[in-house]
Amino acid sequence: MSGKGQFPDRFKGVTVLARRFEESPFLDRYDGPDLVRGVYAGRFFPISFGDDPVEKYWTLRRKSLLFDVPEKPVKISGPDATAFLEHVLARRIETLEVGRGRYALALTPGGGIFMDGVVFRLGPDRFWYVQADGEFERWLIAHSGGFDVAISDPQSRVLQIQGPTAIEVMKAATAGAIDEGMKYFRAGIFDLGGQRLYVSRTGWTNELGFEVYTNNETDHLALWDHLVESGAPHGMEVSDTLAMNMRRIEGGILDNGADIDVTMTPFEAGLGSFVDMDKGDFIGRAALIDADRRTLLFGLTCQTCVPESGCDVLSDGDVVGRMASCAASPTLGCGIGYVRFSRRGDWVGAAVELRLPDGSLHKADVVTLPFFDQGKNIVRGLDREVPPRPT
């Protein structure tokens, strides 16, 4: 399955005043005439280098890729940092140990999903929340009244090394300080080529991987060169984010603003396990007490087409849902995507139809997420088998 033509909108763009957004400090290492960039969390990031995304996808699944991603850490510190995060996040924070991370949602007072991301505990009263797209720093400031906390931008950029050889890459990059003993969602300070940086065992692909966080003293180009040199013997390549997007959809990772938003509760999004209703009060809790706990967001597979975002999903001729993020799955050999249903029901296993913008109808099946590796053994490093590439 070729990646050519899968992303027809990647070359549609407009001129943007660059000074309104944050430039990547790694740009000099991949800038070129075929580069297409987007803006996320107020930062430029590479959408496409002009490479075949399916070729890069298989490098991700069989070796590893280096990504320049626009995730934005926000620092929360001070005597009331823990209490404040308990107030603004739906996940329990006080039990989070130093050196650990935890996926956590921030909700609106009405119970809708405002932001998702990972909170790391760097010290007893010091945290980072690595946010998705949106003005989360200002939102935190707006809700900080009555708490002795400081909310700031640590000026950190993020690189991801993802894929089955990522551990070998990081072993080389840290002179053996990072190895198989670093478990999923653990984090710490490590020396990478003479620079001490925060590294977490996380990512956005559901492949085994790591994230490296810079600071305002980092020599970014030296870091990039060090990682590329460390990864070359292990087959690591540099990639844009198209391959990452394909893999994260396969892995059931939701994109804030595209797949989940303020009109959905965590229960409707299938994220109810990340809401700790018994921890005490938090923003949005009151609205969730009597909320329907049934899920509205599922996976969908189609053997005859790749679904398109926004297209209708029909059951017995009636529109019952619409597609969110979609992709062609190289591993499954079919079109996949997230369907958000407009009414609750026993959708898993249901046979439905997709209606594409050209009016054509295609049979499709509703499935649970993720699309494969239900136990998440790959991302946890429990399944290190390199998948064969279909011929």
Geometric angle at alpha carbon 148, from 146 and 153, rounded to 5°:
110
pLDDT value of residue 390: 83
* Residue 268 shares a structural domain with residue 331: no
Residue type, 195: Q
pLDDT for 7 equals 52
* Co-location of 321 and 240 in the same domain: no
Answer yes or no: do 305 and 236 share one domain: no
In a domain, 152, yes or no: yes
Tell me, yes or no, whether 50 and 145 share the same domain: yes
Which CATH number belongs to the domain containing residue 32 in this structure? 3.30.1360.120
186 and 47, same structural domain? yes
pTM: 0.94
Q: Encode pLDDT of 362-376 as tens digits.
A: 999 999 999 999 999
CB 66 within 8 A of CB 81: no
The mean pLDDT values, 10 residues at a time, for the chain of 391 residues are 49 59 96 94 95 97 98 98 98 98 98 98 98 95 98 97 98 98 98 98 98 97 98 98 97 97 98 97 98 98 98 97 98 98 96 97 98 96 92 74
How far apart, in whole angstroms, are the C-alpha atoms of residue 352 and residue 314?
6
Q: Is there a single domain that holds both residue 249 and residue 299?
A: no
Helix (H) or strand (E) holding 87: helix 81-88
CA distance 146 to 141: 11
What is the pLDDT at residue 20? 79
Domain containing 338: what range? Answer: 294-367
* 145 and 129 inside one domain: yes
Question: Could you say which of 242, 267, 292 is where a domain stops?
Answer: 292
Cβ neighbours for 282, distance < 8 A, ≥ 6 positions apart: 86, 87, 88, 89, 90, 107
Question: What's the CA gap between 128 and 69, in Å, rounded?
Answer: 17
State the total domains in the chain: 2
Query: What pLDDT score does 4 carry?
Result: 43
Residues 323 and 360 in one domain: yes
The last residue of a domain, from among 250, 271, 292: 292
Rounded Cα distance, 303 and 293, in Å: 31
Do 187 and 216 lie in a common domain?
yes
CA atoms within 13 A on the CB side of 125: 9
Residue 333 CA to chain centroid, in angstroms? Answer: 23
Q: What values do phi and psi take at 342, rounded to 5? A: -90, -10
Round to whole Å and give the CA distance between 173 and 53: 26
Q: Is residue 378 part of a domain?
A: no
Same domain as 244, residue 177: yes
Question: 98 lies in a domain?
Answer: yes
Smallest CA-to-CA distance from 134 within 258, 251, 221, 34 is with 258
Helix ranges (H only) for 251-340 are 285-288
CATH code at position 308: 2.40.30.110
| Model confidence pLDDT, tens digit, residues 224-238 | 999 999 999 999 999
Asked whether residue 81 is assigned to any structural domain, the reply reads yes
Three-state secondary structure call for residue 295: coil
Sign of CA dihedral 103, 107, 112, 116: negative
Give me the pLDDT at residue 5, please: 46
